[in-house]
Amino acid sequence: MEKYLELFIEEPSIRKLVVAVIGAFIIIVIKNLIRARLGKYIKDRSSSYKTKKAVNVVGYFAVVVFIMILYSDSLGGVTVVLGIAGAGIAFALQEIIVSIAGWVTILTSDIYKTGDRVLLGGIKGDVIDVGILRTTIMEIASWVDGDLYNGRIVRIGNSFVFKEPVYNYSSDFPFLWDQIKIPIKYGSDYKLARKILYDVAQEVVGNYSDEAKSYWDVMVKKYLIEDATTQPMVTMIANDNWVEFTLRFVVDYKRRVVVKDLLFTRILEKIENESKNIEMASATFELVEMPTIEVKTKL
């Protein structure tokens, strides 16, 4: 034991190694204690997630800085070599460096956060994790109709936030404007058809309209944007085949498929009850005149 103690006292390299291990261990323990206690003080899941990620990075960075300070007297002779090597490494790892810069940008801005629905790098889905290098998305659509998960998990480099537009479906305004089209036969009661569509919209999405209004008021104050209406709107056009009604409405970004199903169900029920006054149109063809046919026979 005395031999090892003397070796520890006489050999600076061994002392530094022991101090480095003990110091790194203490820093990591402190980091883990801070992460464990964050849940008691930060109730919001998104903020807690971001803070834990930041604590992790700061902890490991502190370990690196501590070791560099500890061995600073041994690094003086290799500064030039490290500088040249660092430049080469930076060029080779530029995509990784940009991804890390993208991660910092995501955490410090409102581009998107976990839980948001985004279209990023051509992939549409819900953000389920934001890592240092990649964002993980649970994909929707693709071969599945509507805004439903297809079961595929996609990881996209954070560098995409600098290269391509980021479409966020749920950041400041967690609603979308959507619409459905209803073809009505000529000669139907158009006023009644318009009333049916509007009444059904108020019944199914009326609550969304009122809730969306409060969010939109905040948007108008925050951005230079017009004060658009969030109430359902019914418009009509006439074409060669039928009168087409368009119902435009506001809906929660995660309930588009469900809401459309409810709207079509209620509209069809009410139109069928008014079958004497309103008829749905369809793409049918009617022959109004037969052309003259000449038949020649050979005797």
| Domain annotation covers residue 190 | yes
Shared domain check, 99 and 123: no
Determine the pLDDT at residue 90.
Answer: 60
Shared domain check, 244 and 193: yes
Shared domain check, 67 and 34: yes
What is the amino acid identity at position 35? R
Shared domain check, 41 and 24: yes
Of 105, 128, 144, which residue is a domain's last?
105
Q: Please give the chain's pLDDT, 299 residues, in tens.
A: 555 555 555 566 666 777 778 888 888 888 888 887 776 666 666 667 777 777 787 888 888 877 777 766 665 555 554 565 556 656 656 777 888 888 888 888 888 888 889 998 888 999 998 888 889 999 988 888 777 888 899 999 888 888 888 899 888 888 989 999 999 999 889 999 999 999 999 999 888 888 888 888 888 888 888 888 889 999 999 988 899 999 999 998 888 889 999 999 999 999 888 878 888 887 765 555 666 667 666 65
Shared domain check, 211 and 269: yes
| Domain annotation covers residue 28 | yes
Shared domain check, 135 and 97: no
Of 143, 168, 193, which residue is a domain's last?
168
The pLDDT tens digits of the residues spanning 223-271 come to 888 888 889 999 999 988 899 999 999 998 888 889 999 999 999 999 8
Give the number of domains in the chain.
3
Q: Using CA atoms, how far apart are residues 103 and 106, in angstroms rounded to an integer?
A: 5
| Domain annotation covers residue 85 | yes
| Domain annotation covers residue 286 | no
Determine the pLDDT at residue 3.
Answer: 55
Shared domain check, 91 and 35: yes
Shared domain check, 181 and 162: no
Contacts of 185 (CB under 8 A, 6+ apart): 242, 243, 279, 280, 281
Shared domain check, 159 and 87: no
Determine the pLDDT at residue 84.
Answer: 57
Q: What does the chain look like in DSSP terms, one character per residue?
A: -HHHHHHHHH-HHHHHHHHHHHHHHHHHHHHHHHHHHHHHH---HHHHHHHHHHHHHHHHHHHHHHHHHHTGGGSGGGHHHHHHHHHHHHHHTHHHHHHHHHHHHHHHSSS--TT-EEEETTEEEEEEEE-SSEEEEEEE-TTSSSS-EEEEEEEEETTHHHHS--EESSSS--EEEEEEEEEE-TTS-HHHHHHHHHHHHHHHHHHHHHHHHHHHHHHHHHSS------S-EEEEEE-SS-EEEEEEEEEETT-HHHHHHHHHHHHHHHHHHTTTT--B---------PPP-------
Decide: residue 125, CB within 10 A, 0-12 exposed, 13-18 middle, 19+ buried: buried
Shared domain check, 189 and 149: no
Shared domain check, 88 and 8: yes
φ/ψ of 98, rounded to 5, equals -65, -35
| Domain annotation covers residue 292 | no
For residue 116, give the CATH number of its domain: 2.30.30.60
Smallest CA-to-CA distance from 162 within 200, 227, 111, 87 is with 111
For residue 191, give the CATH number of its domain: 3.30.70.100
Smallest CA-to-CA distance from 70 within 111, 14, 135 is with 14
Q: Using CA atoms, how far apart are residues 103 and 99, in angstroms rounded to an integer?
A: 6
Shared domain check, 213 and 124: no
Of 168, 183, 206, which residue is a domain's last?
168
| Domain annotation covers residue 66 | yes
Determine the pLDDT at residue 299.
Answer: 56
| Domain annotation covers residue 289 | no
| Domain annotation covers residue 268 | yes
What is the domain extent for residue 71?
A: 2-105
Q: Using CA atoms, how far apart are residues 131 and 281, in angstroms rounded to an integer?
A: 52
Strands 175-184 and 123-130: unpaired
Q: Using CA atoms, how far apart are residues 179 and 185, in angstroms rounded to an integer?
A: 20
Inter-residue contact 160 to 175 (CB < 8 Å): no
Inter-residue contact 159 to 99 (CB < 8 Å): yes
Angle (deg, nearest 10), helices 256-273 and 190-222: 160
